[in-house]
Amino acid sequence: MVDQAGIFEKLKDTPLFHKIGYEDFLKMMDCWNAQVKTYLPDETITRSGEADYDFEIVVEGGAFVYQESYFGVRTLLRAKGRGESTTIGTEEFLDDGMHYVIVANGQTMTLVFDGKKVLGACEHPCPFHTQMLANMVVVLRRAHYRMFEHLVHVSKRTTRAKLLSYLSTCQQASHASKFETPFNRQQMADYLCVDRSAMCSELSKMKKAGLIDYDGRWFKIIEHPAEDRLA
| Rounded Cα distance, 83 and 106, in Å | 11
| Rounded Cα distance, 207 and 78, in Å | 33
Residues that bind a copy of itself (CB under 8 A): 19, 67, 69-71, 73-75, 77, 90-95, 97-99, 118-122, 125-127, 129-131, 133-134, 136-138, 140-145, 147-152, 154-157, 165, 168-169, 171-173, 193, 221, 224, 227, 230-231
| From candidates 158, 172, 174, 177, binder to DNA by CB under 7 A | 158
* C-beta of 142 vs 217, nearer to DNA: 217
Within positions 170 to 189, which residues make up the interface with DNA, using CB under 7 A?
184-186
Diameter of the chain by CA atoms? 66
| Rounded Cα distance, 153 and 203, in Å | 16
* C-beta of 2 vs 140, nearer to a copy of itself: 140
Closest CA to 62 of 86, 80, 75, 36: 80
* C-beta of 4 vs 168, nearer to a copy of itself: 168
* C-beta of 66 vs 214, nearer to DNA: 214
CB of 111 to DNA, least distance (A): 34
Residue 159 touching DNA (CB under 7 A) = yes
Choosing among a copy of itself, DNA, none, which partner's interface includes residue 13 (Cβ < 5 to 8 Å by kind)?
Answer: none
CB of 217 to DNA, least distance (A): 6
Q: Long-range contacts for 166-174 (Cβ within 8 Å, ≥24 apart)?
A: 166/191, 166/192, 167/212, 167/219, 167/221, 168/221, 168/230, 170/219, 171/219, 171/221
| Rounded Cα distance, 150 and 162, in Å | 10
181: Cβ–Cβ under 8 A, 6 or more apart, which residues? 167, 170, 188, 217, 219
* C-beta of 138 vs 198, nearer to DNA: 198
For DNA, the binding residues (CB under 7 A) are: 157-160, 184-186, 193-204, 214, 216-217
